Amino acid sequence: KVRNAHEPEFLQAVHEVAETVLPYIAQHEIYNGKNILLRMVEPERAIMFRVPWVDDKGEIHVNRGYRIQMSSVIGPYKGGLRFHPTVNMSILKFLAFEQVFKNSLTTLPMGGGKGGSDFDPKGKSDDEVMRFCHSFMTELFRHIGPNTDVPAGDIGVGSREIGFLFGMYRKIKNEFTGVLTGKGLSWGGSLIRPEATGYGNVYFAQNMLERKGDTFQGKTVTVSGSGNVAQYATEKATQLGAKVVSLSDSSGTIYDKDGIDAEKLAHVMFIKNVKRGRISEYTEKYPSAEYYAGKTPWHIPCDIALPCATQNELNEEDAKALTKNGCICVSEGANMPCTPGAILQFQHAKILFAPGKASNAGGVATSGLEMAQNSLRYSWTREEVDDKLKGIMKSIHNSCIDHGEDPDGYINYVRGANIAGFVKVADAILAQGVV
């Protein structure tokens, strides 16, 4: 009997880790026979709660709120909040499980958690989003705190939502503490936090390419998504001399063969962040670009692919198309965007492949830096935070190599990330006993 059989995304994430970590456990006496993985897959706590709110017409709605507190063995729970209609226990448990390994890889003292709601911010007014966020926090506040659990943003939760959530927490608790990350600059946020996941993903890919004597210069890059991670991955790849030719959302993909330069990206940010519109609107201003309704970008020829939208958005067929078209590097900006079949395809083709728990860890790492600045009541400069982010991405890359090198020299970054993330958490579990 499979425990959690009704949670396919969670099982997928656990399976991917178990496949690489179980052989490692079997080879290492100290971890053997201690049921460590069993202790890692069960959340320390899973909280589910009612979120009632009133829309602009006075109608009452009820959404479901969640917080999965997966592991606090190396630090307070840390991980984002996702507001999207697909949110359920399976999705949040997969994300929380991944988060434990990711946070361990950052070298910072953070445990893992994840939360959110099946609330859909799309098409809602600012006032409706505010009322929802306030209601959500009137329950969540009792489960979090700067030394207990520090949530952040994720899909559907950006600076607007973090502001509303923080405002209600501050009011109820009557204290100004670093209980959320991704805050605005004037009220405790960190420079580079908005950019960190997208930049970090590109820094990770840059490390992989450099090891092969290669760079982003002159490369054609496809990016999926057009939210926070996609926008800043596009910005950094362009700054490093690459040409980004695609962006997407859940309705379709735009292909701009001339490249999405800084001016065009500013327009994308206006469409997505200010107007809260659709990526298809890009072609209204740039008619030479094409729009593929209902399609992902993976059939577009590229050297480097950066999936930055959502889980399981790139399947085995997509992976075949990418490798056939000459793609040499895939670096996950989203969490688990590539299906297991797609990952196998990349590994068989021996192309560079980075799993999200390593390559998108720059976001939570910079959240860790935001927490440190909040504790110090001090702010580092843009350059200081960016340098620390680069250093952390390099160190994660090197940890992956330590545990991921195959006898033929190919780096299996999936195995490398899983084992490196596992070791630190497992050692803490052993030291703390059966708790």
Segment contacting ligand NDP by CB under 6 A, of 25-33, 149-157, 284-292, 398-406: 149-157
Half-sphere exposure of 49 (CA within 13 A, CB side): 18
Query: Does residue 309 interact with ligand NDP by CB under 6 A?
Result: yes
Which of the residues 330 through 359 are near ligand NDP (CB under 6 A)?
A: 333-335
Taking residue 163's Cβ as centre, other Cβ atoms within 10 Å add up to 17
List all residues 6 or more positions away from 283 whose beta carbon is below 8 Å from its beta carbon.
254, 289, 290, 291
Candidates 207, 226, 374, 399; binder of ligand NDP (CB under 6 A) is 226
- What the block records as the tokens of 207 is 């490390």
Q: Judged by CB under 6 A, how many residues of this single chain contact ligand NDP?
A: 24
- What the block records as the tokens of 107 is 């070298």
Question: Rounded to an integer, what distance in angstroms lies between the CA atom of residue 49 and that of residue 377?
Answer: 33
Nearer to ligand NDP, 151 or 156 (CB): 156
Question: Rounded to an integer, what distance in angstroms lies between the CA atom of residue 116 and that of residue 287?
Answer: 37
Torsion angle in degrees (nearest 10) through CA of 392, 397, 403, 407: -160
Nearer to ligand NDP, 20 or 226 (CB): 226
Query: Does residue 181 interact with ligand NDP by CB under 6 A?
Result: no
Least distance in Å: CB of 2 to ligand NDP? 25
Least distance in Å: CB of 156 to ligand NDP? 5
Candidates 228, 345, 412, 418; binder of ligand NDP (CB under 6 A) is 228
Nearer to ligand NDP, 25 or 289 (CB): 289
Helix (H) or strand (E) holding 395: helix 382-404
Question: Rounded to an integer, what distance in angstroms lies between the CA atom of residue 13 and that of residue 301?
Answer: 29
Which of the residues 243 through 282 are near ligand NDP (CB under 6 A)?
A: 249-251
DSSP state letters, 416-433: HHHHHHHHHHHHHHHHH-
Tell which residue, 140, 149, 145, has the closest CA to residue 72: 149
Least distance in Å: CB of 419 to ligand NDP? 21
- What the block records as the tokens of 393 is 């991405």
Give the active site residue among 78, 93, 102, 114.
Answer: 114
Nearer to ligand NDP, 7 or 98 (CB): 98
Q: Is 88 left (phi over 0), alpha (psi -120 to 50) or beta?
A: beta
Least distance in Å: CB of 224 to ligand NDP? 7
Torsions phi, psi of 181, nearest 5?
A: -115, 165
Residue 274, SS3 per DSSP: helix
Nearer to ligand NDP, 43 or 356 (CB): 356
Least distance in Å: CB of 273 to ligand NDP? 9
Alpha helices in 121-261 (DSSP H): 126-140, 159-173, 196-211, 228-239
Least distance in Å: CB of 264 to ligand NDP? 16
Nearer to ligand NDP, 112 or 153 (CB): 153
Least distance in Å: CB of 417 to ligand NDP? 14
Residue written as tokens 């083709």? Answer: 349
Helix (H) or strand (E) holding 292: strand 290-293
Candidates 360, 374, 399, 412; binder of ligand NDP (CB under 6 A) is 360
Least distance in Å: CB of 158 to ligand NDP? 6
Candidates 76, 111, 113, 156; binder of ligand NDP (CB under 6 A) is 156
Strand partners, 254: 247, 291
Query: Does residue 197 interact with ligand NDP by CB under 6 A?
Result: yes
- What the block records as the tokens of 380 is 């580092």
Using alpha carbons only, give the angle 269, 231, 308 rounded to the nearest 5 degrees.
135
Nearer to ligand NDP, 7 or 313 (CB): 313
Candidates 43, 112, 151, 227; binder of ligand NDP (CB under 6 A) is 227
Candidates 313, 318, 370, 386; binder of ligand NDP (CB under 6 A) is 313
For residue 114, indicate whether it is catalytic. Answer: yes
Question: Rounded to an integer, what distance in angstroms lies between the CA atom of residue 18 and that of residue 12?
Answer: 10
* Position of minimal CB gap to ligand NDP: 227
Nearer to ligand NDP, 51 or 223 (CB): 223
User: Residues with catalytic annotation?
Assistant: 114
* Binding positions for ligand NDP, rule: CB under 6 A: 153-156, 158, 197, 225-230, 249-251, 308-310, 313, 333-335, 360, 363
